[in-house]
A and B are shown apart, each in its own frame.
Chain A
Amino acid sequence: MVTINGVATDAAGKTVAEYIASSNYDPQVIAVELNEDIVSKKDYDTTVLKDGDTLEVVSFVGGG
Chain B
Amino acid sequence: MIPSHEEMTAALAQRHGESLQRVFSSAKVAICGLGGLGSNIAVSLARAGIGKLILIDFDRVDITNLHRQQYKANQIGMFKCEALAQNLSEIAPYVQTEPHCVRLTEENCFDLLCDADIICEAFDKAENKSMLVNYALEHFPDKYLVAASGMAGIGSPNEIVTRRVSKRFYLCGDGKSDVNECGSLFSARVMLCAAHQAHTVLRILAKEFED
B178 touches A36 (CB 8 A): no
A36 contact from B127, B148, B166, B185, Cβ within 8 A: B166
How far, in angstroms, from A56 to B181 measured CA to CA in the complex?
24
**Contact segment of A7-15, A27-35, A45-53:** A27-35
Task: Check A29 against B129 for contact (C-beta < 8 Å).
Answer: yes
B residues near A29, Cβ cutoff 8 Å: 126-127, 129-130
Q: How far is the CA of A58 from the CA of B151 in the complex (A)?
A: 15
For the residues of A in contact with B, the DSSP-based class is mixed
Once bound together, how far apart are the Cα atoms of A40 and B130, in whole Å?
A: 12
A interface size (C-beta, 8 A): 18
Q: Does B190 contact A (CB under 8 A)?
A: yes
How far is the CB of A39 from the nearest CB of chain B, in Å?
9
Q: Beyond A33-B166, A40-B134, is A62–B171 a contact (Cβ under 8 Å)?
A: no
A residues 20-44 touching B (CB-CB < 8 Å): 28-31, 33, 36-38, 40-41
Instruction: Give the Cβ gap from B165 to chain A, nearest Cβ, in Å.
Output: 6
Give complex CA distance A30, B178 in Å: 14
Query: How far, in whole Å, are A33 and B169 apart by their CA atoms in the complex?
Result: 10
> Chain A contacts of B167 at CB under 8 A?
36
Complex Cα gap A59–B173 (Å): 12
Which of B7-15, B17-25, B30-38, B80-88 is near enough to bind chain A? Answer: B30-38
Q: A33-B169, A61-B152, A61-B176 are in contact. List 11 more A-B contacts (CB 8 A).
A: A28-B130, A29-B129, A31-B133, A31-B134, A36-B166, A60-B129, A62-B179, A63-B36, A63-B150, A63-B152, A64-B124
- Contact surface of B with A, Cβ cutoff 8 Å: 33, 35-38, 122-127, 129-130, 133-134, 137-138, 147-152, 165-167, 169, 171, 175-182, 185, 190
Sample (7) of A-B pairs whose CB atoms are under 8 Å apart? A31-B130, A58-B149, A60-B147, A61-B180, A63-B36, A63-B177, A63-B185
